[in-house]
Amino acid sequence: MGFLSRKTKNATPVVDEPHPIVEELAQMEQAVPERGTERLPTGPVVEEDPSSSQAAGDVPSSTPPVEEASDSSSGSDASVAEKVEPEEPERFMPRDLIAPSRQEVAVEEPASGVATKHAEVIAFANQKGGVAKTTTTLNLAVAFAESGYRVLCVDLDPQGNLTMSQGIDPDKVEKSLYDVLVNDMPISEIIQRREIDIAVSSIDLAGAEIAMSTKIGRERSLEKALKEVSGDYDFVCIDTPPSLGLLTINALTAASKVIVPVQCEYLSMRGLVQLQNTLKMIQENLNPDVKIEGILPTMLDSRTVHAKEAVEILEENFGDLVFKTRIRKAIKFAEAPVKGSSVLKYDSASSAANHYRELAKEVLAK
């Protein structure tokens, strides 16, 4: 019994002695609430700290944690709080870095789009050949240019007569409308500067219809290509081949107006009916805005009764659609392409040149 009693007496003093670990834990408990108050700006962590701080007996329950942060006696704590507060409003969110640039672009687009001007596209079409389509396309375009307008001619005929009329050899052209329509090359890369700007043709264009047969949206290939340069010109004049194939359909789909040169002969006038039927289909399916601007009597020989009767038949059937201007036969029209120029440049004072100046005035008046 005595041995046991001595054991119990020796054990009690050991329990009463403070262990070093207990002191360290107490110091940690005192330090925890202080760190919590310093991190007040970060958010909800502060609300959980008062319970631990009350357990340590350092922070009264009635005192808000924010006040304790401001009343801390240590200079380092105050300096830390001062550094944290100004940094908060300077933080950037992802939307602050992305949104301003997008808003600036959205504001600029309407302002730049208001003044955008598009060229008026005129197609010269007739399924019959030899009715002066190429002659009319070139000389009317040059007459527009004389009046101060910016004009682009598009040679959509594989024969390349319009290209040759400006002194360019179609057989030596490296890039032509074939590359634009089939390979989606920018049309600006094939434009050459002469009396007027011209998008050149080549014999390769004869195979364009077959090459485009499997292309989606093939009827709008020329329309899409012209969008690149539409703002650079006032007029785009398109010379078409003597057929109603895919190339002519591309021209009529891209155009807003159609001028129909008609030789003052019976067989030439018959093509008007088929052209009207084709134009009606295009209006219903591809381009509802295209319309016939006018019918132009060409190669008129006023000495023959047949030519006079042909003009009368046109006026009876089409009325005001027939231009008042008449393009009469003249040797100048055959001589000018040999020199690689228009009639207006080849012989500016000739009656042949004045016919197209009058036609230009009549088109502009409409």
DSSP 156-211: --TT-HHHHTTT--GGG-SS-HHHHHHH---GGGGEEESSSEEE---GGGGGHHHH
Of residues 355 and 129, more confidence is placed in 355
Find out whether 29 and 22 touch, Cβ atoms under 8 Å. no
Q: Ranked by mean pLDDT, which of 66-70, 247-251, 269-273, 300-304 comes out on top? A: 247-251
Find out whether 233 and 193 touch, Cβ atoms under 8 Å. no
**pLDDT over 50 (residue 72):** no
**pLDDT over 70 (residue 93):** no
Q: Ranked by mean pLDDT, which of 3-12, 73-82, 281-290 comes out on top? A: 281-290
How many Å is the Cα radius of gyration of the chain? 44
Average pLDDT, the chain: 79
**pLDDT over 80 (residue 10):** no
pLDDT for 187-232, tens place per residue? Answer: 999 999 999 999 999 999 999 999 998 999 999 999 999 999 999 9
pLDDT attached to residue 30: 67
**Residue 181: CB partners within 8 Å, gap ≥ 6?**
205, 208, 212, 221, 222, 225, 250
- Output the six-digit token pair for 229: 């340069």
CATH pick for 119-365 out of 3.30.70.100, 3.40.718.10, 3.40.50.300, 1.10.357.10:
3.40.50.300
pLDDT attached to residue 5: 46
**How many whole angstroms separate alpha carbon 36 and alpha carbon 26?**
16
pLDDT attached to residue 360: 97
Mean pLDDT of 309-320: 90
pLDDT attached to residue 264: 86
For tokens 């009529």, what's the residue?
252
pLDDT attached to residue 218: 94
pLDDT attached to residue 106: 41
**pLDDT over 70 (residue 167):** yes
- Output the six-digit token pair for 315: 């006026």
pLDDT attached to residue 98: 46
Q: Quick one: pLDDT band at residue 71, thresholds 50, 70, 90? A: very low
Q: Quick one: pLDDT band at residue 20, thresholds 50, 70, 90? A: low
Global confidence as pTM: 0.69
pLDDT for 234-281, tens place per residue? Answer: 999 999 999 889 999 999 999 999 999 999 887 777 778 888 889 999
**Which amino acid would we find at residue 282?**
I
**Residue 124: CB partners within 8 Å, gap ≥ 6?**
133, 136, 137, 237, 238, 239, 240, 258, 259, 260, 261
**Residue 160: CB partners within 8 Å, gap ≥ 6?**
170, 200, 201, 202, 203, 205
Find out whether 155 and 241 touch, Cβ atoms under 8 Å. no
**Chain center to CA of 328:** 43
**How many whole angstroms separate alpha carbon 246 and alpha carbon 210?**
9
Q: Quick one: pLDDT band at residue 60, thresholds 50, 70, 90? A: very low
pLDDT for 168-190, tens place per residue? Answer: 999 999 999 999 999 999 999 99
Find out whether 248 and 166 touch, Cβ atoms under 8 Å. no
Q: Ranked by mean pLDDT, which of 71-75, 281-285, 299-303 comes out on top? A: 281-285
Of residues 60 and 151, more confidence is placed in 151
Strands (E), 247-348: 257-263, 291-298
pLDDT attached to residue 268: 75
